[in-house]
Amino acid sequence: MGLEQKLGNLGIVTTKLEDVVNWSRTNAMWPMLFGLACCAIEMMAAQASNYDMSRFGMELMRASPRQSDLMIVAGRVSRKMAPVLRRLYDQMPEPKWVIAMGDCASCGGVFNNYAIVQGVDEVVPVDVYVAGCPPRPEALIHGILTLHEKVRGEKLRDNA
Amino acid sequence: MTTTKEFEFPLMDGTLDGMTHLVSDRAIEGDTVLLNMGPQHPSTHGVLRLLLELDGETVITCIPDVGYLHTGIEKNMEAKTYIKAEVMSDRLDYLNNMGNNLVYCLAIEKLTGLDVPERAQVIRVILVELQRISSHLVWLGTHALDLAAMSVFLYCFRERELILDIFEMISGQRMMTTFIRPGGLWRDVPVEFEAAVRQFIEALPERIQQYEKMLTKNPLFIRRTKGLGVMTPEDALRWGVTGPMLRASGIAHDLRKAQPYAGYEQYDFDIPTHTDGDTYARYLVRMEEMRQSLRIVRQALDKLPYGPVRSNNRKYVPPPRSELSTSMEAVIHHFKLWTDGFTPPKGSVYMAVESPRGELGVYLESDGGPKPYRIHWRTPSFTNLQTLPMLAKGNLVADLVALIGTADIVLGDVDR
Amino acid sequence: MDETLQSLVEQLKERFDASTYSYADEISLVIGPERMIEACRLLRDEHSFEMLVMESAVDYWPELKPRFHVILRLRSLKHNLILGIRVPLEGNFPTMPTLETVYPNANWFERELWDMFGIRSLGHSDLRRIVMPHDWEGHPLRKDFPLGYEEPQFTFNFDEIDLRKPYAKESQ
């Protein structure tokens, strides 16, 4: 209804190509299932009916990296898992973004020892960090909306 | 036929040589396919890697490769004082946070001989049983999701939100509450707690009815789960399986009845068992366990007494903040506990409770210092996962997904 | 609990030349590694201790004799008893016979002992690392293995740690 009012009878709308591209990227960003530990449960709760993430375009979570654009690293990344994480990140097609969900993915969290990578940004470049142990589903959604704002501000030549 | 040269991912030590004793002879000839059901997979409930030797769709051998979530919790707890280490215990089996806290605190109380007041015992029981219900709800949601019943997943998480609201009301955190402390609880529950729990236990039975209506007589569900993964009672005992997997094979062993802790002997509840030992039997056992947990919570709520919630033993339990402005001893105890931490006597204990997955135990050894000298977590998922290769032989890959669901493993438990 | 367990422990003490260790209503037999398998087999067959609940170890470094104590817990469902067994092992790379023939679930427990402590189980069917990566060096739960603590970034040292931290690049 809103779009027709703006268009009138013309059927033509003028805008910047960047805006259209970024709008389409944010409104249908498909996350890749990368739930590792406790944050995965909160991610599942964010996907469930109380804090529905489908309202923001993330209707499905794709298990295959080839079909997703967003990787939400939810949980602690151990040293054994780090090469797997990098490999999956490399398999995702451009454009891709990474959200580090939770304290363990952001900075190692409670665990400062031999087995946990201290922050997933040692393995993949991260766009948004969501704090919390585990972050509430609303915090995760806030992180996703922050990412949407970041994507809306991207220029075409960033991903060229 | 594919051989291991296709995997750049190191298998065990990079070649098939390292695993010839694990796979059947047909794999070495190249007759069967070696498939990697990798750490990232929608149905493995976490980061579990399974190496499957397949003949078409039938699994010949299944080799679990765990350790992708290894957190080094046992070593890290040795570097922290007892109270600071409790924070890490929440994050082991992340669906059973209260249970982990409880077993840790019970081990410390056994080691030090600390007393726990009556009100704290009753509230502990209520919280642990609510946690058991929430864990079984997640189990049901994800198990049904794997078997393509997605609406059950959404309903279960809706119920779970009610429980998480209660936890948030008492402690401020939805999951990792660290509410149960040595000597009792962190602090008293607010006034609205009893009403909220009562409202929850009135609402839940009909919801469980809803799930049963959707699944129990559903011919698709029965077709996929009946007769799958049968575990005989002798096998279960030999492999050290505990929890609903053991009870579905016919052995009525529940630590809440066999070696009661935290006042469980005062409550009247049944232990659901079943004789078939297959996936459908485990489903029935866990659904019935949810009802029995509700029964326990109702009895506990009815007998909730008034009184303190933390022990008075100031050598281990910090004094309430109101005392700090009036009593010098309180200030000294507070100072000692916050800087050094308490020092239990030298000794070692093993304490086990019944978690939703099986027997969760803590072996705690103290050398008289403020930090645990050695803490070992006997986690149920580690032992239960060992039976997966045995159960998966001869089944299809789709059945393997159902088997992982029925074993109810949580990878935080397995890898610690 | 106490009478049956007490008499059983006395019986085993004489037969296997063991001592006992008890704390807070629990009792453990301290047996040498040579006689451990025989004792466990006897407990499983004649006294119906059907389930091996736990097998782990404690490291007493820098004390070398013994350096490790392997801790077992056996549970009898029939009589509702739980009995502990402690096996002292000496030296830096000790070996002990495998319990896998008696209790099959000792398979993964002993793999974990090898991985975390370096205690070899002789006769084990599949001794390789279980939770650490397969090419990891060292045995993490030993007392002389460092924790791997990384210095946290506070405001006063933020920049210098920032320079040292190995951040990942977009493509490698």
Taking the CB of residue A102, how many other CB atoms lie within 10 A of it? 31
Instruction: Find residues 40-99 of chain C whose CB sits inside 8 Å of chain A.
Output: none
Average pLDDT of the residues of chain A:
85
Residue B201's SS3 state is helix
C148–A80 CB contact, under 8 Å? no
- Alpha helix ranges (H) inside B147-179: 150-171
- Encode chain B (416 residues) as per-residue pLDDT tens digits: 333 333 333 444 444 555 666 666 666 677 778 888 888 787 767 888 888 888 888 888 888 888 888 988 999 999 889 988 998 888 888 999 999 999 999 999 998 888 899 999 999 999 999 999 999 999 999 998 888 888 888 899 888 999 999 999 999 888 888 999 998 898 889 999 999 999 999 999 999 998 888 888 889 888 888 888 888 888 888 888 999 999 999 888 898 998 898 889 899 998 999 988 889 999 999 999 999 999 999 999 999 999 988 888 888 888 888 888 888 988 999 998 888 888 899 988 999 999 999 999 999 999 888 999 999 999 999 999 999 988 888 888 888 888 888 888 888 888 88
Average pLDDT of the residues of chain C:
85
Cα separation, B240 vs B358, in Å, equals: 10
- For an interface test with A, the pick among B175, B413, B415 (most A C-beta atoms closer than 10 Å) comes out as B175
On whether the CB atoms of residues B354 and B256 are closer than 8 A, the answer is yes
Q: Which residue from B115, C38, B141, C171 is spatially nearest to A48, judged by alpha carbons? A: B141
C53–B378 CB contact, under 8 Å? yes
- For an interface test with B, the pick among C29, C43, C105 (most B C-beta atoms closer than 10 Å) comes out as C105
Pairing mode of beta strands A70-74, A31-32: parallel
Pairing mode of beta strands B180-181, B58-65: unpaired
pLDDT surpasses 70 at A9? no
Report DSSP letters for B319-377, one per residue: PPGGGGGT-HHHHHHHHHHHHT---PPSEEEEEEEEETTEEEEEEEEE-SSSS-SEEEE
The residues of A whose Cβ lies within 8 A of any Cβ of C are 79-80, 86, 90, 107-108, 112-115, 118-119, 121-125
Which segments of A34-146 are extended strands (E)? Answer: 70-74, 97-101, 128-130
Q: Is A2 exposed, middle or buried (0-12, 13-18, 19+ CB in 10 A)?
A: exposed
B412–A38 CB contact, under 8 Å? yes
pLDDT tens string C88-116: 988 888 888 988 888 888 989 998 998 88
Helix (H) or strand (E) holding B242: none
**Residue C150 carries which side chain, given as an amino acid letter?**
E
A78–B87 CB contact, under 8 Å? no
Residue-level length of chain C: 172
Cα separation, A29 vs B40, in Å, equals: 20
C14 in contact with A, Cβ within 8 Å: no
Residue B152 contacts by C-beta under 8 Å, 6 or more apart in sequence? Answer: B140, B141, B144, B145, B211, B214, B215
Torsion sign, CA atoms A79, A83, A86, A91? negative
A115–C148 CB contact, under 8 Å? yes
B69–A37 CB contact, under 8 Å? yes
Touching B (3+ Cβ pairs <8 A), the chains are A, C
The pair phi, psi for residue A53, each rounded to 5°, is: -90, -10
Residue B186 contacts by C-beta under 8 Å, 6 or more apart in sequence? Answer: B171, B178, B179, B180
- Please state which of the ranges A130-134, B7-11, B264-268, C76-80 shows the lowest mean pLDDT: B7-11
Cα separation, B382 vs B401, in Å, equals: 18
On whether the CB atoms of residues B330 and B314 are closer than 8 A, the answer is yes
The pLDDT of residue B341 is 85
Cα separation, C67 vs B349, in Å, equals: 20
| Angle, CA of B276, B277 and B283, to the nearest 5° | 100
A–C interface: beta-carbon pairs under 8 A: 40
> Which is more confidently placed, A59 or B204?
B204
- Alpha helix ranges (H) inside B172-310: 192-215, 219-225, 233-238, 244-247, 255-258, 279-302
B298: which DSSP letter?
H
A45–B158 CB contact, under 8 Å? no
The pLDDT of residue A12 is 73
The pLDDT of residue A38 is 87
Q: Residue B7 is encoded by which pair of tokens? A: 């995997």
Residue-level length of chain B: 416
Query: Scanning every residue of chain A, which has its alpha carbon at the shortest distance from the alpha carbon of B89?
Result: A110
B–C interface: beta-carbon pairs under 8 A: 94
Considering CB atoms only, which of A33, A34, A115 is closest to B71?
A115
A133 in contact with B, Cβ within 8 Å: yes
Q: Which residue from A142, A139, A99, A136 is spatially nearest to A121, judged by alpha carbons? A: A99
B61 in contact with C, Cβ within 8 Å: no
Considering CB atoms only, which of B13, B113, B382 is closest to C134?
B13
A132 conformational bin, left if phi > 0, alpha if psi -120 to 50, beta if neither:
left
> How far apart, in Å, are the Cα atoms of B141 and each of A135, B148, B175, B210, B399?
21, 10, 17, 13, 17
Instruction: Find residues 242-271 of chain B whose CB sits inside 8 Å of chain C.
Output: 242, 251, 253, 258-259
Taking the CB of residue A13, how many other CB atoms lie within 10 A of it? 9
C26–B251 CB contact, under 8 Å? no
C77–B258 CB contact, under 8 Å? yes
> How far apart, in Å, are the Cα atoms of B392 and each of A15, B229, B276?
57, 7, 17
On whether the CB atoms of residues B90 and B177 are closer than 8 A, the answer is yes
C130–B237 CB contact, under 8 Å? no
Q: Residue C172 is encoded by which pair of tokens? A: 């490698």
Calculate mean pLDDT across residues A1-21: 74
Residue B380's SS3 state is helix
The pLDDT of residue B355 is 92
The pLDDT of residue B102 is 93
Cα separation, A37 vs A117, in Å, equals: 14
Cα separation, A65 vs A31, in Å, equals: 9
Which segments of B17-153 are extended strands (E)? Answer: 33-37, 49-55, 58-65
Q: Is B82 exposed, middle or buried (0-12, 13-18, 19+ CB in 10 A)?
A: buried
Instruction: Find residues 111-170 of chain C whose CB sits inside 8 Å of chain A.
Output: 131-133, 140, 145-150, 152-153, 165-170
Cα separation, B261 vs B106, in Å, equals: 8
Chain A residues whose beta carbon lies within 8 Å of the beta carbon of residue C129: none
Q: Helix and strand tally (H, E) in chain C?
A: 4, 7
The residues of C whose Cβ lies within 8 A of any Cβ of B are 23-24, 26, 50-54, 56, 58-59, 71, 73, 77, 80, 82, 84, 103-105, 107-108, 125-126, 128-135, 140-141, 145, 147-149
On whether the CB atoms of residues B351 and B102 are closer than 8 A, the answer is no
What is the predicted ipTM? 0.90
Pairing mode of beta strands A97-101, C68-76: unpaired
Chain A residues whose beta carbon lies within 8 Å of the beta carbon of residue B47: 36, 81
Q: What is the pTM of this model?
A: 0.91
Residue C165's SS3 state is coil
% residues pLDDT > 70 (chain A):
92
- Alpha carbon of A158: minimum distance to chain C alpha carbons (Å): 12
- Alpha carbon of C9: minimum distance to chain B alpha carbons (Å): 18
B40–A112 CB contact, under 8 Å? no
Helices B397-407 + B279-302 axis angle, to 10: 20
C24–B349 CB contact, under 8 Å? yes
The pair phi, psi for residue C118, each rounded to 5°, is: 85, 25
